[in-house]
Each structure stands twice: as C-alpha cells, then as structure tokens.
Amino acid sequence: MDPRPVVFLEAIKQGERAHLMKLLVIADESEEIVREYIDEGELFEVRDNQGATVGVVLMIAESANRVEIKNIAIAPEHQGKGYGKTVIEHICRHYAGHGFSVITVGTANSSIDNLAFYQKAGFRLTHIVKDFFAKYPEPIYEHGIRALDMVMLERKL
C-alpha cells in the first residue's frame, strides 16, 4: 500500500481565488505581495479523498517549456503527511503531459525546511536572486535568519 495520501487538484478560475488567501500566505507571508500574483497562471485547490481542502498550488508558465511553482502551501494540520510530495508529483506529471520539460521553484535563503523538501523531491539548485525579499513590506525571519535572497531550484520533467 502506498503511504502517500490521495489528492485531487481542482482548478480555480481567476477572480474566484480570494477565499484561498489564508493558505497562500502560508508560503508567502505578505498578503500584499500575494495579491499581486493571485490571478496569474493556474491555481489549484488541493483536496483530500474526503473533499476537504488541504492546500493550494499556483503555477505560472515561464516559457513554452518551463513552468514555475509560484506558491505551494499545505495547511499546517496536514503538513508532514506526504501531501506536499504528492502534489509535486501530480503537477510534474500534469505539466510534462502538457509539453513542459522543466519545473522551477524559488524559496527564501532562510527557508531551510523548504530547501530540504524541494531537494528531496528531485529539484536542484540553479541560482540566487539577490535581495528578492528586500522589497517585502515587513522583514521575514526564519530560524533567526532574515529572508533576503531567493534560492531558485529546478527539476527536469
């Protein structure tokens, strides 16, 4: 038996996404910044096999063959149960099936848990966007480290 949970991804139309803000700010702490991109790309509400919402993932095509995970979040009470890894596998299959060959993601230099998660999911470090988080209205600290730089990773599909 596969220990990973079953998930379903439901596409949410642009203009109908505000109800997911509470989940989106788990991954991107600035509601102001999330509002800038909430209606871009494809947003999927992640549901468990009971139909309950357990997370979100927002995807934005960067080019004809590259797609970015702009925001991915699993509700705190569902974290550590395999939902995130299962969502990553779903979106990798989905976008590979739509002709994409690379999936990218960025996370803060201070997001040590995220860096470990993405590497375990098959992503490799590619580059750093210096001072990406310096524009945020409020400084973000994790593990006593200020989030300033965006660490970019990618996975071949």
Q: Using the predicted structure, report yes or no on whether residue 1 has a pLDDT greater than 50.
A: no
77, burial (CB in 10 Å: exposed 0-12, middle 13-18, buried 19+):
exposed
- Rounded distance between C-alpha atoms, residue 20 and residue 74, angstroms: 11
For the chain, which residues make up each domain, given as ranges?
7-156
The H or E element spanning position 78 is none
**What pLDDT sits at residue 93?**
96
Q: Is the pLDDT of residue 147 over 80?
A: yes
Q: What percent of the chain has pLDDT over 90?
A: 95
pTM score, whole prediction: 0.93
Average pLDDT (124-129) is: 98
Distance CA 57, CA 116 (A): 18
C-alpha triplet 64, 123, 68: angle, nearest 5°: 35
- Cα 97 off chain centre by: 19
Arithmetic mean of pLDDT, 85-89:
96
CA distance 90 to 133: 29
CATH superfamily of 7-156: Gcn5-related N-acetyltransferase (GNAT) (3.40.630.30)
- The radius of gyration computed from the CA coordinates of the chain, to the nearest angstrom, equals 15
Least confident window among 1-5, 26-30, 122-126: 1-5
Per the CB < 8 A criterion, the answer to whether 63 and 108 are in contact is no
Question: Can you tell me the distance from the alpha carbon of 116 to that of 130, in angstroms, rounded to the nearest whole number?
Answer: 20
β-strands 42-48, 53-61 pairing: antiparallel
DSSP state at residue 97:
T
Given this model, what pLDDT does residue 88 score?
A: 97
